[in-house]
Amino acid sequence: MKFFGISEDTMEQKRRVLIKLSGEMLSAPGKTLDYDKIDAVAAALKEIAARGVQQGIVVGGGNIMRGRASGGMDRTDADHMGMLATVINALALKDALLRIGAKAAVMSAIEMKQVCEPFTRREAVERLEAGEIVIFAAGTGRPYFSTDTAAALRALEIGADMLYCGKAVDGVYDKDPRKFPDARRFDELSYDEVILKRLEALDQASVILCRDRPGGGLPVFVFELSEPKNLIDAIDGRCRGTYIRG
C-alpha cells in the first residue's frame, strides 16, 4: 500500500498546504454541529501548525445546507445559502482554534465585515506566513461552484504545495463503496484519468484547475476524515488514500 504526504524530512522545512474539510465532518447524527468533533479537528490543526506547516482551510457546508440538493429552490439562492453555511462552520472552527491558543482567522469570499474579513490573496498569504491558520469561507463567492472547486482555487492562489481533501471514504473508487461492496479503490491516479473516467472524487472543475497549474500540476491527496487524527496522518504520509497528480 502506498502512503503519500509530507515526509518527516520535509516537515522540518516551511511548507504550505490547503486542507478541504467537508461540513459533515463537523457534525454527528442529530447534531448539525458536533462541538467535540470540532474541538478535535482544531487540536489536530494546531498540532500540524506547531510543526511549521502553513495551513489554509476550506470547509464545506453540507451539514447545514447543500445548494445542489435544494429541491425546487432557485439554484442561485440555494447556493448562496450553502455559502453562508460554510461561514457558520468556519466561525465555529476558528473559535475552537482560538480557545486552544492557535492563531486563526476567517476570510470570506462574500463580504460581511461585521462577521469576518473579506478574502484577499495578499492578506491571506501574509497571515499564513505569520503562522495563522486561515479558514476560507463562502466558497468562491459564486453560485454553481462547489467547495471542492473553491479549495482548488484557494490552493492555487496561496501557492500551496499540496491539496488535501478529507472525505467520507478513504480515497477514490471506481464506484461508490458505500453502495457497491466490489468497488475498487485506487492508490494513485492522473488528473486525466479522474476526468475521463468521471470518477466522483472531486468536482471536475477542481481537478482541471489542479491539473492546469502553471509550472506543473498541484498534487491532490484524497483521504477519509471520519477521525480528526487522520488529518495528522495524512500530512505525515501515513494515511490510506488516493494520490492524484500528473
- pLDDT, tens digit, 9 for 90 and up, residues 148-165: 999 999 999 999 999 999
CA-based nearest residue to 147, from 86, 219, 223: 86
**Alpha carbon distance 222, 171 (integer Å):** 5
- Region 157-177: mean pLDDT is 94
- pLDDT over threshold 70, residue 4: no
Q: Which CA distances in Å does 121 have to 56, 69, 207? A: 12, 30, 21
For residue 168, name the pLDDT band (cuts at 50, 70, 90): confident
User: Is 14 a residue whose pLDDT tops 60?
Assistant: no
Confidence at 13, pLDDT banded by 50, 70, 90: low
What are residue 20's DSSP bridge partners?
58, 165
Averaged pLDDT, 177-182: 91
- Calculate the average pLDDT of the chain: 91
What region does 119 belong to: left with phi over 0, alpha with psi -120 to 50, or beta?
beta
pTM of the model: 0.92
Question: Strands 188-190, 53-59: parallel, antiparallel or unpaired by DSSP?
Answer: unpaired
CATH architecture of 8-245: 3-Layer(aba) Sandwich (3.40)
Query: How far apart, in whole angstroms, are the C-alpha atoms of residue 235 and residue 242?
Result: 13
Query: What is the reported pLDDT for 72?
Result: 82
Summarised one tens digit per residue, pLDDT across range 65-117 is 987 666 789 999 999 999 999 999 999 999 999 999 999 999 999 999 999 99
For the packed helices 35-50 and 75-99, what is the interaxial angle rounded to 10 degrees? 70
